[in-house]
Amino acid sequence: MGPKKRKVLPARGRRRGLCAELGPGLCAELEPGAGLCAELEPGLCAELEPGLGAGQELEPGQELEPGLGAGQELEPGLGAGQELEPGQELDPPQQQEEGPLSSVYFNTAEMTNGRLSSSFFNRPCVTLAKEFLGQVMVRKFPDGREVKGRIVETEAYLGGEDQASHSRGGRQTPRNVAMFMSPGTMYVYQIYGVYFCLNVSSQGDGAAVLLRSLEPLQGLDAMRHFRSQRRKNTGKLLKDHELCNGPSKLCQALDITKTFDRGDLATGTEIWMEPGPENISAADIVSTSRIGIGYAGEWFSKPLRFYIKGNKCVSVVDRKAEKVND
C-alpha cells in the first residue's frame, strides 16, 4: 500500500491575517498560495506565509501578529513541510551562547578611555567603599612617569549621624566642602600638621570614602623616593608592602598633597582610577571597625572598614573579624 496523500487545506474566509487551527487553542496566520506547508495534524497541512510562525510555540489562544516573521529564513530541520509522527513536536530553536558577563563592580558605561568615569563613583558610601577594593589608583608626574597601586583597604564615613565623620551633623566648613561635592571629588586633609589623607566623595551629603592602603603595582622606586623624603629614619629600606600600607603612607608614596583637594578623579590628568585586573568577591572582603576613632562613641565599633582578606598591604588585620566573615 503506497503512502497516503496529504490533503492541503486552502486558506478560507478572509484575506491575509486568517488563523488556521494547529491544535487545541493554537493557530497560525495563513497566506493563500504562499507555498510553505506547516503540519496541522498527521497527514494534513496548510499553506503558510514564508517564514511565518516557523518553529514558534504559542500559548493557548494566542495568535501570531499579521506578517510576523515574514521574510525570515527557517532554521535547518525546523518548520515548513516537515512530516511529524503523531504526538511529535518540533525541536525548539537552539539559543546562542551569551558572551561573558560584565564585572559586578563596573561596566563599559562606567569607563572613559580606560578610566573609571563619574558614574562609577555615583553610589552609596558603603557600596563605593567596597567597590573601590581591587581598583587601581594612578598618579602621573610632570615628567611623564606613572605610579600605580591597587586599592586593598578603605573606610566609609557616612556624614550626618556618623560621629566619626568630619561632616557629622551636616557640618560644612571650608576644610571639608569637598565631602559635599559631586561623587568622585577628592577630599584631602592634613593630620598632625604634617601628613595628608585622601578621601573620595560618594552619594549622600557629607559622605566620603577614605583610601587606607594600596598594593604597589608600578613605579615602586618612585614611591620609595617620595617616602624617604618624609621619613625620619631613612637608613632602613622599605619593603614593597610597607610603601602604601596606611592612609598617610599612601599619600606620601604618590606625592598627594592639599593641592589635590576638590579635584575630580573622573577628569583629572595627574591622578585617576582604572579598573582593577580582577574582580573582588564578597567572600574576599573583611568588614571591621575603623581605625583611630575612639572619640566616636558607638560609631567606633561600626563595621565600616573594608579590606581584601589575605593581602599583605593591609594596614591593620583583624583576625577575629576574618573568622566571622568566613
Series of mean pLDDT values for 10-residue runs along the chain (326 residues) = 46 40 44 41 41 43 42 39 50 41 42 87 98 98 96 97 96 96 97 95 97 98 92 79 97 97 96 94 96 95 97 96 83
Q: pLDDT over 70 for what percent of the chain?
A: 64
Tens of pLDDT, residues 240-287: 999 999 999 999 999 999 999 999 999 999 999 999 988 899 999 999
pLDDT value of position 12: 41
pLDDT value of position 197: 98
Computed over every residue of the chain, the mean pLDDT equals 77
pLDDT value of position 234: 63
Contacts with 158 (C-beta within 8 Å, 6 or more apart), sequence order: 125, 126, 165, 204, 206, 207, 304
3-state secondary structure of 225: helix
φ, ψ dihedrals at 324, nearest 5°: -65, -35
Tens of pLDDT, residues 34-48: 443 344 344 444 343
Answer for the pair 205, 185: CB distance below 8 angstroms, yes or no.
no
- Supply angle C-alpha 268, 269, 271, rounded to 5: 70
Cell numbers representing residue 48 in the block: 503558510
pLDDT value of position 245: 97
Do you know the residue count of the chain? 326
User: In the chain, helix, strand, coil percent, each to 5?
Assistant: 20, 25, 55
> Hey, what long-range contacts does 8-14 have (CB within 8 A, 24 or more apart)?
8/37, 8/45, 8/46, 8/47, 9/40, 9/44, 9/45, 9/46, 9/47, 10/47, 11/46, 11/47
Query: For the chain, where are the alpha helices, taking DSSP H only?
Result: 118-121, 125-131, 220-229, 247-253, 319-325
